[in-house]
Amino acid sequence: MSNNAKSAKLFIFAAPSGAGKSSIIKKIISKDKDNIQLSVSVTTRPPRDGEIHTKDYFFVDEKEFSELKEKNAFIEFAYVHGHQYGTLRNFVNEKLKCGISIILDIDVQGYTQIKDSLQDTISIFIIPPSLEELKNRLIARGLDSKEVIEKRMINAKKELNHAFSFDYLVLNAGLNRDNIFLRMTSDDWNNVINVNLNSSFHLLKHFTKKMVKKRFGRVVFISSVVAHTGNPGQVNYTASKAAISGMVKSLALELSTRNITVNSVAPGFIKSNMTDKLNDDQKNTILERIPMKKLGDSSDIAKAVGFLCSENANYITGQTLHVNGGLALI
């Protein structure tokens, strides 16, 4: 086995339909196409417009699917929303042997089948901001009938219960309602605190119980550079992110004896749809504030989170990793 094969990992992504899982996976793969690929699943579902056999899915009929099950060809399979889905064992093993990490985009049913049987897997569950937002996304994408959407919402509530069995928790809640303090309303304050801070409290109450029982867990908060520098017009947002820093330190002290690490990443200005809309003068004003004179990339944040979840960070807890081009130093 080559060194590349030894470093290849199997990543399991699970989420309710509409949570944004596919978009996240596409972004990850686009950054490193040579070393990480999406597993192509087998399904009995009819192809959607634009989907290609062997590229998006292996499209088969019910008889072919049953024959593959009898041959033990799947490492997992599930019946989801009226159709069969499965992951081919040989497909995954061959990619891993070649040193290519594989992402499984699977249903929660599939995850429960393989979570204890495969070694060196990293399991990630994507939680939507709320069930209301999840339903809005399903309606907006226009792929399903009203009846199918209702079925997906029923399943989503069941699937969210499985999220608490995952080992890695990344808390990326972020809402801003900017205004100068004298004009900031109680709703502006409460909405930001509820989303950015209180939601983290409620999620952690569930997740840490499972982590403590398993004596393993990795918790990473996404904070912000403004928690350390302050920012005019963002008293509510700054307060919520600064509170996260206190949570990180206290939780790290409480959970460290259970092999659970708690850290945070503090991004600065990151390239996004929002920064793309800025004019040149606005961009130059921002760049002048950053010691490195450039914006960060979403991959910079992803790599920082990946590091804090990796074996290389086993002895790091209670810390904030600044990924902001030196902006926190000013």
Whether 117 and 206 map to the same domain: the answer is no
Dihedral angle, C-alpha 299, 304, 306, 308, nearest 10 °:
-170
Provide the domain count of the chain.
Answer: 2
The two three-digit tokens of residue 221, written as one number: 């908060």
The contacts found for 54-61 with CB under 8 angstroms, 24 or more apart, are: 58/88
Span 86-92, average pLDDT: 92
What band does 117 get if pLDDT is binned at 50, 70 and 90? low
3 state SS of 239: helix
3 state SS of 212: helix
Q: What is the CATH number of the domain that holds 12?
A: 3.40.50.300
List, edge to edge, every strand of the sheet that includes 83-88. Answer: 57-59, 41-43, 83-88, 74-80
Checking if the pLDDT of 132 tops 90, the result is no
Checking if the pLDDT of 116 tops 50, the result is yes
What band does 271 get if pLDDT is binned at 50, 70 and 90? confident
Confirm if 248 and 221 have CB atoms less than 8 A apart.
yes
What band does 279 get if pLDDT is binned at 50, 70 and 90? confident
Q: Is residue 138 part of a domain?
A: no
What band does 88 get if pLDDT is binned at 50, 70 and 90? very high
Name the CA radius of gyration of the chain, rounded: 21
Q: Residue 46's pLDDT is what?
A: 94
Whether 199 and 327 map to the same domain: the answer is yes
Q: Is residue 139 part of a domain?
A: no
- The Cα–Cα gap between 42 and 74 comes to 9
Span 13-19, average pLDDT: 81
Q: Is residue 63 part of a domain?
A: yes
> What is the tens place of the pLDDT at every residue in 175-211?
889 999 999 999 999 999 998 999 889 888 888 988 9
Q: Is residue 147 part of a domain?
A: no
- The Cα–Cα gap between 162 and 16 comes to 10
Q: What is the CATH number of the domain that holds 190?
A: 3.40.50.720
Q: Residue 302's pLDDT is what?
A: 86
Q: Residue 128's pLDDT is what?
A: 75
DSSP-derived secondary structure for 55-69:
TTEEE--HHHHHHHH
Angle, helices 298-309 vs 21-31, to 10°: value is 100
Give the pTM. 0.74
Q: Residue 330's pLDDT is what?
A: 78
Range of the domain at 50: 1-129
Checking if the pLDDT of 298 tops 90, the result is no
Mean pLDDT lowest among 12-16, 107-111, 250-254:
107-111
Look at 44 and 141; give whichever has higher pLDDT. Answer: 44
| 39 to 10, 49, 79, 250: CA distances (angstroms) | 10, 20, 18, 39
Look at 101 and 157; give whichever has higher pLDDT. Answer: 101
- The Cα–Cα gap between 232 and 211 comes to 38
Q: Is residue 96 part of a domain?
A: yes
Q: Residue 1's pLDDT is what?
A: 45
Whether 177 and 326 map to the same domain: the answer is yes
Angle, helices 235-255 vs 199-214, to 10°: value is 10
Residue 160's Cα: distance from chain center in Å? Answer: 14
Whether 178 and 308 map to the same domain: the answer is yes
- The Cα–Cα gap between 240 and 205 comes to 18
Q: For the chain, how many helices (H) and strands (E)?
A: 14, 12
Whether 184 and 119 map to the same domain: the answer is no
Q: Is residue 158 part of a domain?
A: no
Q: Residue 71's pLDDT is what?
A: 95
Checking if the pLDDT of 3 tops 60, the result is no
Q: How large a percentage of the chain has pLDDT more than 90?
A: 51
Q: How large a percentage of the chain has pLDDT more than 70?
A: 96
Whether 97 and 218 map to the same domain: the answer is no
Whether 311 and 182 map to the same domain: the answer is yes
Phi, psi of 76 (to 5 degrees): -160, 155
Q: Residue 83's pLDDT is what?
A: 92
Active site residues: 237
